[in-house]
Structure 1
Amino acid sequence: MSARKTETEIAVRHPRETSVLIGHREAEAALLAAYRSGRIAHAWLIGGPPGIGKATLAYRMARFVLAHGDSGAPAVRGADTLFVDPTDQTARRIAAGAHGGLLTLERSANDKGVLRTVITVDETRETISFFGSTAAAEGWRVCIVDTVDELNPNAANALLKILEEPPQRSLFLLVSHAPARVLATIKSRCRRLSLRPLATQDVIRAVAEATATDPADPALIEAAAASEGSVSRALALLGGDALQLQTRTAALLATLPHLDPNELHALGDALGTSDRVALASFIDTIERWVAARLRGPDPNANLPRLARLAEVWEKIVRAARDTESYNLERKPLVFSVFGMLAEATR
C-alpha cells in the first residue's frame, strides 16, 4: 500500500480514541507512580513539540483514572502502564465523547461553523459548573486542555481561578506546545512533564498504525526521517507534495533578509487555495526555523533581534490561523510572513 495519500485519504483517530501510546514510557511511568501514591498533583503541564503524543498521553491518563477511581485498588497496584482495554465501558464512553467525568477544552466552531482561533472564556467557565458537581461522591473529575497555548487571556485567568482552589478528586491535564509561554501563575500550580520528540522508528510505527500504512513503504520512511520526531509532521509530509514544499520554504528562509518576489509568488502558488496540509507544512517549516534561532547557539547574542523574532512569530501564528479558519488566499500570507521575517532579521 502506497503511503502517498491526499489529505482526505489520511484518516487519523482522535487521541480520545487512541488506546496505544508509542514512546514516552518514562512520562507514563511518572503519571502512574503519582496516581498510585495517592498524592497525585491536581494539575499537570504536559509539554513538548506538536504531534509527539502529548494529547494521547493525557487521554490515556484520564481513561485510567476514570476507569480505576481507587488509586489503591489491585488493578492499579498491579498495573505496569496506563493501558485500559478499548472495550472497557469507560474507554468506550470517552472515545464517544460521552463520559460525564471528563471535560475537554479545545477550540470549537463559532456560530458560522468556522473554527475559532482561541479557546474562549465562556468555554473555560464550563469548568466551574463541571467541578462544582458532586465529584467527591461520584468519583474523579478530569479536565484536559488541548492546548493551554490557545486560551485567550480571559480564558487563561478563568482557568487559573479553578487551579488556585482545586476541588477534591480533580485532575487537570494541560497540553502545551510551548510551555515557556504559558502564564507563570498557571505553571506554578502544575507539575511539569516534558515529552521529547519520538525516535524515527516510533514515528513510523505510529503513522503506520494510525493510517493502516505498510511500515516498509519508502514514502512513509522518508516522511518519518524528515519529521524530527513528530507524528503530525510526518502525516503532513505524506499529503501530496508537502515534503517538496518544505524544502522550497527552507531554501527561501536561508536567503533572509533578502527576498525574491518571483520565488515568493511561486511558493504562494504551490500552497494552493484550500490545501490545509500544504499550509500546515509551510507554517511548520517556519516554526522550526524560528525556534532554531531562538534556542541558540548563543541565545543572548542579539537580544533585541531575538525579541523581534519572537514577536513576529506570534503574529505569524495568528495570521496562519485566520487564513485557515476563514479559508483565505495563501499568497498574501506568504508575502506577509517573509516580509515580517526579513524585517526582524535585518
Structure 2
Amino acid sequence: MFAPDLAGHHAIRQRLLARLQAGQIRGSLLFTGPEGIGKRRVALELARRELCFRRNACGQCEGCRMVMGDDLPFELPNLLRIVPEGKAGVIRIDQVREGLDSDHQPRFSRGVIEWASLSPPVGCHRWILVEEAHRLHENSANLLLKTLEEPPPDTHFILVTHRPEALLQTIRSRCERIPFAPLGPEEAWAVAVQNGWTEADRPRWTALGEGGLRFLDEAAFRRAEAQVEAWLALLQGRPFSEAGQALLPEKDSPLAQSEQLRQPLELLLRLLADLARIRAGEAPGLDPWRAALEDLAAQPRDLRPPQEAALESLRHLPRNLSPEPLLREVGLSLQGA
C-alpha cells in the first residue's frame, strides 16, 4: 500500500492518502520537522503513487523508477522540484519565474506559476515540491504568494523545511502545516544497516542523528563526530588553534558557509544542554560522550554565556562572511564560562 523503501511516518502517510482519495487535501502544504527524517520522501511518495503502474508506489515498475534514485529529475509528468542552487544556496526568483538553473539553462520549459496552471496528466495531480523552503529568497517567496493562496484545481504545493521559522509569515499562513516527528531509534537504525552501517558505530550514529538519517553518508557522520570532539576539547581549555579546525567550513563544499556553520553551532548547543541535564541528574542526549560531559559538568562554569553566544551566532549566520572569527569568539565564551 505504501512505498516499501520509505521508513516510518505511517500515520501521516495514511492520513494524506485518505484525504487525497477523498479530494480533501489542501492546495498548499508545509511539511516541517527535524532535518533528515524523510519529509521530502513522503512528499515524493504522493507523486510516485500516481505514476506507479500498480498505483501503490511499489518501487519496482518503470513509473516508480522515474521518482526514485539520487539523480531525480527536476520535472516529471506530475512533479516539479524547486531546490536551492548556487554557492549561496538560495531559491532565486528566476527559478520561480523562468525555471532556470545556476548556468541559466532551462531545466523545464515554463516558470512555476505557468507550470502549475496546466492541466495534470490523466489520473494525476500536479505536485510542486519546494525543497529546503527556508532558503526561498524573499522575492521568490513574494512571487509565490498568490499561487500558494489559491493554487489551480488539482495542483498542490508541498514546501519542505526543518526551519519553518525562517519562512515569511505570509508563506506560513497560506499553507497547512503537517508536522513530522523523528523516526524511532530502531526505524532509523534499520535504514542505516541497509546502507552498510555496523553495530560498532550504532551508539554514536544514533545519538548524533536524533531519529534522522542525515548522517547516512559516512563523511558527514565523521565530520559531526569530529565537531563534537572539537567542542569538548575547547570546553576542556585547549586553544582554538589546536582544537577548532574541524569546526571551520570546508572550502570545496557545495554548501554555503552559513549552512556549514549551522551544524557545529547546533552541536554546541546540544552539548551545553547535556551539561545542564547531567547537573539535574538526567541522562545526556549525546550519551556516547557521557564520561567527558560528566567531568565538564562537575566544573563550576556558567553555561549561559556560551549558549547566548551560539544562539546569537546562529541568528546572524546569513550575514556573517568570516567563519573563523565567529567560531573563535564562541570558543572564547567557552573558555571564560
Decide whether aligned partners of structure 1 residues 136 and 233 sit closer, same or farther in structure 2, where only a CA change above 3 A counts. closer
Greater relative contact order, per chain length (Cα 8 Å cut-off, separation 6+): 1
Alignment of 1:1-346 (within 5 A): 20-67=5-52, 83-95=56-68, 96-97=72-73, 98-109=75-86, 115-125=87-97, 126-135=111-120, 139-209=124-194, 211=195, 213-214=196-197, 216-233=198-215, 235=217, 239-240=221-222, 242-250=224-232, 252=234, 262-268=239-245, 274=251, 283-290=262-269, 312-316=313-317, 319=320, 333-339=323-329
* Whole-Å separation in 2 of the counterparts to 1:282 and 1:237: 16
More deviation, 84-93/308-317? 308-317
Task: Give, as a single letter, the amino acid of the residue that structure 2 aligns with 1:121.
Answer: I
Task: Please state how far the C-alpha of 1:164 moved relative to its aligned partner.
Answer: 2.0
Matched length: 284
Decide whether aligned partners of structure 1 residues 181 and 292 sit closer, same or farther in structure 2, where only a CA change above 3 A counts. farther
Confirm or deny: 8 A CA contact 1:237 1:243 kept in the other structure.
Answer: no
Decide whether aligned partners of structure 1 residues 269 and 181 sit closer, same or farther in structure 2, where only a CA change above 3 A counts. closer
Structure 2 portions without partners, runs of 5+: 98-110, 278-305
Q: Which has the higher helix share?
A: 1
Per the alignment, residue 303 of structure 2 pairs with none
Per the alignment, residue 302 of structure 2 pairs with none
Task: Give, as a single letter, the amino acid of the residue that structure 2 aligns with 1:160.
Answer: L
Structure 1 portions without partners, runs of 5+: 1-17, 69-74, 77-82, 110-114, 298-304, 323-331
Q: Map Cα deviations across residues 248-267 of structure 1 (whole Å, 9 max, x no partner).
A: 22553x58xxxx68235431
Task: Please state how far the C-alpha of 1:317 moved relative to its aligned partner.
Answer: 5.3
More deviation, 307-316/189-198? 307-316
Decide whether aligned partners of structure 1 residues 137 and 158 sit closer, same or farther in structure 2, where only a CA change above 3 A counts. farther
Task: Report the RMSD for the aligned CA atoms in angstroms.
Answer: 3.9
Confirm or deny: 8 A CA contact 2:8 2:183 kept in the other structure.
Answer: yes
Confirm or deny: 8 A CA contact 2:231 2:268 kept in the other structure.
Answer: no
Confirm or deny: 8 A CA contact 1:248 1:267 kept in the other structure.
Answer: yes
Decide whether aligned partners of structure 1 residues 182 and 250 sit closer, same or farther in structure 2, where only a CA change above 3 A counts. farther
Confirm or deny: 8 A CA contact 1:106 1:119 kept in the other structure.
Answer: yes
Confirm or deny: 8 A CA contact 1:246 1:282 kept in the other structure.
Answer: no
Q: Give 3-state SS (helix, strand or coil) of 1:135's partner.
A: coil
